[in-house]
Amino acid sequence: MKRIVIIITLAFMAVTAFGQHDEQVTVEGKFRPKVNKVNKLQLQPETPQPSYRFPSSEVTPKDATQKFALDLEKIAPTAFAAKNDKLFAPTENFVMAGIGTRLSPIFLYKHNSMLTKQLGLGVGVKHHSSWLNIKDYAPSGYMNNAFEVNLTTSQFDGFQIDGGVFYKNDVYHYYGVNLAETPLTDEQIEKYCPRQAYNSIGGHVGLKPASTRAGELSHSGSMDYQYTFDAFSSKEHFLGLDYGLGYTETWWGPKERPQKVGVNASFQYDGYAPAGYVENRIFFKVNPFFEMKDDFYRMHLGLWMDVVAGEELEDRHFALRPDLSGSLFVLGKKLEFYAGLKGGRKLMRFSEIVEDNPFAFISSHDEVHVVRNEKLCFEGGVRTNVAEIVDLHVGVRYRHVDNDAFYEMDDIGPGQLADLSLDDYSYPRLYNTYGIVYDETKTVSVLADARVKMRNSLTADLGLAFNSCSPAIQEYAWYRPTTEAKLKVTYDYNDKLSFNTTFLYQGGRYAKVSDDGPYWKYPPRYHAEKLKDVFDLSIGADYKVNDQITAFALIDNLAHQKYQLYYNYPVTGIQLFAGVKLKF
């Protein structure tokens, strides 16, 4: 009974919402306490102690139109890079506060502490907004808010438990119209460039075994819930339940290298209602697997079986996909060769689509209730730390995907649907929202990333990606770059002063642009337009006043490039941010 009470408390902790004003939002990261060895498999677990990594001095006050910060595909880091990371003394509270040249306030608060020897508390608050309109096109503004509370136990009745709740508020002012080409009054802007607001509230609770011993069964499980709704009556309920059962035994080899056999099961419910229409989907996934490892290899052999149960016959699917991966270590684990083969289906969720592109207007259930089918996914590569100052990773990816999603300009935005008569063709043509098209694609990517650490004062992180995506029907893979690059350099001049710079690049992007003409009067017409390459350079500095106070400054988009991440949505040019960071 005691265990049940604690789990319920973790999952349904109360959340206090923010006050709102007419601006725009993105939410980053989770504020969870970190406990040593919580995620490690232990035969004889120790009592964990709180561990806290001081947040980076880098701030990313990009506009909402710069939602994707040109980060490369998430690839597993080398096992050796962590030894060069700078470690900081544990601290319970961290505050970062600053303001930008557009009167854009930035505020971040993180709390991390141990309430008892085995119970950790994490709290996070974030705010970022623009108080002045962005007038590159029509006036606009944005606001980002997030609040999260988490609890983590190091051990409770043989389990490690973590749980918490969150609230996110994203407010956008659609503007995507050039006032020089289409002069509008303030009333027309308010009518045809509406404000969009996304709100999400949810929670998580998870269980993991505190220790794993040979000859014993281990159990793990989690529950996630999220409710998302926007300003135009669209809403989504999502519930995810996961359970894992494993048995560890030394069937051969040394006792410290046991083998493991088990099964993972997942249940997902997704109920989406665009402007009143409700569609429910249920997703089951089962993953039996076998794992083994030794000093010079690691192997995972499994199979994914997934079933999608929709209300319509065409929405019901069953698939079998491989789940294979392995690594080979040589030169005393300084060189790793790895490969994997995977696949499976994934629900396209409303909350994920609008987080990726906040200007997407999901007007039909058909646009969001599509199952992404990864028919075949291969990855392989090599990681090395042969040189003590360099970590290097080179990899290749291949993906064959059905129902791959692309964004295209929508002929009608949400503000136009409210009071538009089919007999009225005089309304302004505003390209301020995006619809979704789906296609079968084959993508080959070559990725490389490297970290160079010199004399504990200079660190350089470089990432490169070359992508070749071939859609079956669409002319181009809309908005997807063929070349990506990111370089971040940090330099500690002395114990008080440090500098950082970040360079971002994307090239080879195309947009599917709608021609003039109401779609009900003429057939829709589109043409491909190559977008300007992205060059974005930022430089920053930190000055440590004392152990508790650090002043920071950042010049964002130093070259004043007004590239477009989405057509008719140029990013803001050069901006200056300054503020302080406190830890106590």
* Residue 203 phi, psi dihedral angles, 5° rounding: -155, 170
Please give the pLDDT value at position 77: 42
pLDDT by residue (tens digit) across 413-464?
A: 444 444 444 344 444 445 567 888 899 999 999 999 888 888 778 889 888 9
Percent of the chain scoring above 70 in pLDDT? 73
Please give the pLDDT value at position 102: 75
Q: H or E segment at 202?
A: strand 195-209
Tell me how far apart the alpha carbons of residues 209 and 218 are, in angstroms, rounded to a whole number. 6
Nearest CA among 556, 448, 450, 552 for reference residue 501: 556
Nearest CA among 524, 405, 429 for reference residue 176: 429
Please give the pLDDT value at position 516: 58
How are the residues of the chain apportioned to helix, strand and coil, as percentages rounded to the nearest 5? 5, 55, 40
pLDDT by residue (tens digit) across 469-522?
A: 999 999 999 999 999 998 999 999 998 999 999 898 999 999 988 775 444 445
Please give the pLDDT value at position 56: 41
Please give the pLDDT value at position 69: 42
- Kindly give, in sequence order, each residue whose CB lies less than 8 Å from that of residue 83, ignoring residues fewer than 6 positions away: none
What pTM did the predictor assign?
0.80
Q: In the chain, which stretches have pLDDT less than 70?
A: 1-91, 133-139, 174-175, 178, 182, 192, 275-276, 310-315, 362-369, 411-432, 516-524
Please give the pLDDT value at position 187: 77
CA dist 319 to 96, 105, 361, Å? Answer: 47, 48, 30
